[in-house]
A = this chain, B = another copy of it.
Amino acid sequence: MERLPAPSRTTMTTPASHAPVRRRAPRLASAGVIMEAATTLFLRNGYLGTSVDEIAALARVSKQTVYTHFADKEQLFAEIIRGNFGRADDFVRAVRVELHDPHDLEASLKLLARRYIATVVQPDALHLRRLVIAEAGRFPDLARTYHERVPQQVIAALANQLQQLADRRLLRVDDALLAAHHFAWLVLGGPLDAAMFHSDAEMPSSADLERQADAAVDVFLAAYGTRSARS
C-alpha cells in the first residue's frame, strides 16, 4: 500500500460553519480527520476510485477505525456531501448585501457576477460539482438535495433580490425566478461548462473571466434594465 502524505490539518471539519449546525453528537477527533481525508480523495478520484484503505492511510488511522465511525463507505460519502450544503452561504449573503440598496446597480451586478464565477470555478467547488453529478446515478436523493440546497439556493436568493429591485422600478422583471436563471447562466454558463470538461490547469485567466462577467451583465441589463445602456 502506497504511503500517503500526512493530511494538511486545515480547518474544514464542518464546512457549513454558520447556519444552525445541529449535527447530532460532537464527533471525536478522528472522525474529523477521516472526513477530511475522505473529502480530499473522493474529490480527486471519485467514489469508486477511492478505497477505504486509502482514506485510512491518508487519515493515518486503521481501516477499522473508519468503520467504527461510519457504518460503511456510502454513509461516509453521504455525510461528506451533506457537510458541504453550506458551501454557497457566503455568496448568498453577498447577493443579499450587494443588491439590498445598490447605488450603482450595474456596478453591483458586475461585482456579483465576477464573484459568482470565482466562487463556482474554485477547484474544490468544481470537483464537488463533478463528484455529485458523477454519482447522481448511485445517490439520486443526495444529488437532488445537493442541487436544491446549494446551486438553487443561490438562484433563489438572486430571484428574491431581483424581485425587490423590480418592486422599486430599478428593473423590469416579470418572472423573478426566470430572470435569476438568466442572470446565473449568462454569467456562469461559459466558464462553468469549460471548467467541467477541463483540468484545473487550463482555466481561462482571471482577466478573461472578468470580461465575460461584465459582458453577461450588459446582456442582462439590456433585457431587464430600466434604461437601455447599450451603444
A143 and B136 CA atoms in complex are apart in Å by 19
Task: Determine whether A212 belongs to the interface, using a CB cutoff of 8 Å to chain B.
Answer: yes
Q: Is the CB of A185 within 8 A of B178?
A: no
Task: Determine whether A75 belongs to the interface, using a CB cutoff of 8 Å to chain B.
Answer: no
Task: Determine whether A102 belongs to the interface, using a CB cutoff of 8 Å to chain B.
Answer: no
- Which residues 126-161 in A have Cβ within 8 Å of B in the complex? 130, 132-138, 140, 143-144, 146-147, 151
- Which residues 153-207 in A have Cβ within 8 Å of B in the complex? 175, 178, 181-182, 184-186, 188-190, 193-194, 196-199, 202
Instruction: Give the number of residues in A that approach B within 8 Å (Cβ atoms).
Output: 47
A144 and B196 CA atoms in complex are apart in Å by 9
Q: Which of B138, B144, B178, B202 contacts A212 (CB 8 A)?
A: B178
Task: Determine whether A230 belongs to the interface, using a CB cutoff of 8 Å to chain B.
Answer: yes
Task: Determine whether A52 belongs to the interface, using a CB cutoff of 8 Å to chain B.
Answer: no
Kindly list chain B residues whose C-beta atoms are within 8 Å of the C-beta of A185.
185-186, 188-190, 193
How far in angstroms is the closest Cβ of chain B from A54? Answer: 14
Most interface-central of A199, A202, A223 (chain B CB within 10 A): A223
Q: Which of B48, B181, B197 contacts A189 (CB 8 A)?
A: B181
Q: Is the CB of B219 within 8 A of A230?
A: no
Q: List 14 A-B contacts (CB under 8 A).
A: A48-B49, A130-B137, A132-B197, A136-B197, A144-B198, A144-B199, A146-B197, A181-B189, A184-B189, A185-B186, A219-B220, A219-B223, A222-B223, A223-B230
List the 6 shortest-distance A-B pairs measured between CB atoms, nearest first: A185-B189, A134-B134, A147-B197, A222-B223, A48-B48, A219-B223
